[in-house]
Amino acid sequence: MVSRKRNAALDKSDEPHPTAFQERLYAACKKIPKGKVTTYGALAKALSSSARAVGQGMRRNPFAPIVPCHRVIASDLELGGFSGEWGNETKQVCRKRSMLQAEGVKFDGTKVARTSVVEVDEMAALVGAPTLVVAKGNAKLKQPRTACTAVARHSRK
């Protein structure tokens, strides 16, 4: 007979269960290329969310480093927070900087160099989110082209 203690160890109910938003967030975060970063705001726009929600989701990320939350920074290109700490001189944020440098992210003083940043439109494309296109005063959503949309367009001809 298996003891109660052992049954408790086999029970997987203690494993993290991300919300639907967190699942989308973590999937998007995994698409940030090594050697690059994006901002909380850019990731939020790509997910039609808020920077604060992205920050809270990153703070609760139980899958690091598989989900590389260290690749998300503040909009002023400062490192922002890491592991619940905020500020360039904190132990965890110094660790974040070291991780990013090891991946090839370039810095300009305490800020990430603009050349290492995945901007809003590129992040939206990586995530597969629609982007806003403004042409001749008319704004419309442009859906990213995928294999499915390419087949659908071809079959209409």
Strands (E), 76-130: 81-82, 85-86, 107-108, 111-112
Q: How many CB atoms lie within 10 A of CB 68?
A: 22
Distance CA 38, CA 145 (A): 22
Catalytic residue among 29, 69, 94, 148: 69
Q: Is 64 helix (H, G, I), strand (E, B) or coil?
A: coil
Distance CA 87, CA 94 (A): 9
69 catalytic? Reply is: yes
Distance CA 68, CA 7 (A): 32
Catalytic sites, residue numbers: 69
